[in-house]
Amino acid sequence: MNDELINCININKAYKQADEQLSVISNLSFSIKEGECIGLIGASGCGKSTLLHILAGLDLPDSGEVNFNGKNISLLDRDDRAEFRNQHIGFVYQFHHLLPDFSALENVAFPLLLSGKSKDSSLIEAQNVLDKVGLKSKENNKPSQLSGGERQRIAIGRSIITKPSSILMDEPTGNLDNKNVDNFMNLVLDLSQDLNISLIIATHDKNVSSRLDRLLNLE
């Protein structure tokens, strides 16, 4: 928990809106340690999702550095950022974005298949991950046959299968009731501790933010 994983230095991001530049992130600097669980809070439109996309290399800052394990990922080209993301970063959205024609097992295995691993070894690892998220018995179910809470567990399984050092989550509990929010947080916090994975969660839900190590309020 003492080693720095992410260090952002003077991040700036603006979008063109009509004839004006809309500043979303201005001179933002912060760091996150390995295994730390961080909440991004603030009103809608304050830049939480934009920041997550920049941390994942899905978007680039206009200026500033995003250093991940000492590597400035903002300097990587698109293909190298995609490879880096596949190896080091998991992502969980509010809407699970599972592939509807794939089974739970195949959805979890998908990142390994994308990285070039064989189908057999990918499915074996996916079975182990399904066990970790408590859904081994649902391996052949399609997303339409799963509850909302189960779909989010599949999305969590998909996000950890590459053994990333961090998982970024964008309003992951937005479609869950209070009981499923508690189950979700119990699971992700246990996984974070067991696998030494940092969590960065953008959330409006106080049932989520109250259980994290530290909050970053984007205003």
Q: Which CATH number covers residue 204?
A: 3.40.50.300
Q: How far apart are CA 111 and CA 127, in angstroms?
A: 14
The mean pLDDT of 65-83, rounded to a whole number, is: 87
Q: Is 211 helix (H, G, I), strand (E, B) or coil?
A: coil
Residue 69's pLDDT is what?
A: 83
Q: Is the pLDDT of residue 20 over 50?
A: yes
pLDDT of residue 212: 92
In total, how many domains does the chain have? 1
Mean pLDDT of the residues in the chain: 86
pLDDT score recorded for residue 1:
43
> In this structure, which amino acid lies at residue 94?
Q
For residues 178-189, give the mean pLDDT: 84
pTM of the model: 0.85
In this prediction, residues 128-156 reach a mean pLDDT of 87
Beta strands 71-72 and 63-68, pairing class: antiparallel
Matching residue, tokens 């934009």: 50
Question: What confidence category does residue 8 fall into, taking pLDDT thresholds of 50, 70 and 90?
Answer: very high
Residue 168: what pLDDT?
A: 92
Query: Could you tell me the sign of the dihedral formed by the alpha carbons of 166, 167, 171, 174, in that order?
Result: negative
Please report, rounded to a whole number, the percentage of residues in the chain having pLDDT higher than 70.
98
Residue type, 69: N
Split at pLDDT 50, 70, 90, the class of 107 is very high
Domain hosting 87: range is: 4-217
Cα 183 from Cα 53, distance rounded (Å): 26
